[in-house]
Structure 1
Amino acid sequence: MEDILGLLRIRIKRGVNLAVRDVNTSDPYVVVKMGKQKLKTRVIHKDINPEWNEDLTLSITDPVKPFVLTVYDHDTFSKDDKMGDAEFDPSPFIEALKMNLEGLPSGTIVTRIQPCRTNCLAEESCIAVNDGKVVQDVVLRLRHVECGEVEIQLQWIDLPGAKGLSVS
């Protein structure tokens, strides 16, 4: 427990215009990997615009480690088809958490991250304060596939007894 800084809650909100891998549709689910941790959502059947609204929680020991989100098409009788992936670096979010943001009004935007060649952002991502919590809404464009985006939201959970995020 002493190595854990806290928990990163990743809300997998929805997929938009995901690739078709079955006849006119797909049965998508999302896998998130960071280091040795691997979490997955439930399968949404026959939907290329699925709404998961599911929380996946990663234990964070190294705040600079990116995570990889991969979308798969569930198949009953064969290997699941990959429907694209996206790598995401949570370090700007972690850096924002280290600032003393207590007392800021809800809706305050702390920082903005622009899409570029080195990230998988489909559009500008804002780190903001909502109801006293720092959150980041992200739209990831999937790589290695013809189309598709996944909307997620990041939120930090402090653990009693954990190291926490020290201000460097």
Structure 2
Amino acid sequence: MNGLLGLLRVRVKRGVNLAVRDLRSSDPYVILNMGKQKLKTRVIKRDTNPVWNEELTLSVEDPSLPVRLEVYDKDTFTLDDPMGNAEFDIRPFVEAVKLNLKNVPDGYIITKVAPCRENCLAEESPVYWSDGKVYQDLALRLRNVESGELELQLQWVSIPASKGF
């Protein structure tokens, strides 16, 4: 695929029960990767239940590429410590966007993505219609770490000049 389909706005809401990497706490931040794109949240000091509520926007050309997340503990004098990672597939979300819904009520659930071995979902993830837009709420269980989850919300942003839907 070549050409921009649209933008994926990822709201990194919060972390829950993240691993301790410093003395009794951590200074976490999240790196979001999709293809060659790499975005980063701000660092939240001394908090294993941080609230970022930060929006990061990815350009989507190929919806088959997974979105990868890595959580790190910011250190001053040494390399940042890994605090787990996760990934998710945006194809179910993009398929819901393609439906081009118009007259459905706010809160209408288009589809649900169930947790399974192939994804990092901690619970069922609804894709829904609200305020004229498609959203998806995700709770992701971090891998390669003793504990931690991230809560995200996806929103699609259409681009008029794109090859999108």
- Fold shared by both chains (TM-score > 0.5): yes
Q: Which residue of 2 aligns with 1:51?
A: 51
> 2:160, 2:115 → 1: CA distance?
35
> 1:91, 1:11 → 2: CA distance?
18
Alpha-carbon distance, 1:159 to partner: 1.0
Q: Which residue of 2 aligns with 1:99?
A: 99
> 1:33, 1:76 → 2: CA distance?
23
> 2:155, 2:100 → 1: CA distance?
16
Alpha-carbon distance, 1:49 to partner: 0.2
Q: Which residue of 2 aligns with 1:64?
A: 64
Q: How do 1:1-168 and structure 2 match up within 5 A?
A: 3-165=3-165
> 1:160, 1:125 → 2: CA distance?
28
> 2:14, 2:103 → 1: CA distance?
31
Q: Deviations over 1:132-167 (max 9, x none)?
A: 1100000000000000000000000011211113xx
> 1:155, 1:69 → 2: CA distance?
17
Q: Determine helix, strand or coil for the equivalent of 2:151.
A: strand
Q: Which amino acid aligns with 2:111?
A: T
Q: Determine helix, strand or coil for the equivalent of 2:22.
A: coil
Structure 2 unaligned runs (5+)? Answer: none
Identical aligned pairs, as a percentage? 63
Alpha-carbon distance, 1:125 to partner: 0.3
Q: Deviations over 1:72-120 (max 9, x none)?
A: 0000000000000001101000001111311110010000111000000
Alpha-carbon distance, 1:63 to partner: 1.2
Q: Deviations over 1:40-60 (max 9, x none)?
A: 000000000000000000000
Q: Which amino acid aligns with 1:84?
A: G
Q: Determine helix, strand or coil for the equivalent of 2:92.
A: helix
Number of equivalent positions: 164
TM-score (norm 2): 0.98
Q: Determine helix, strand or coil for the equivalent of 2:94.
A: helix
Q: Determine helix, strand or coil for the equivalent of 1:24.
A: coil
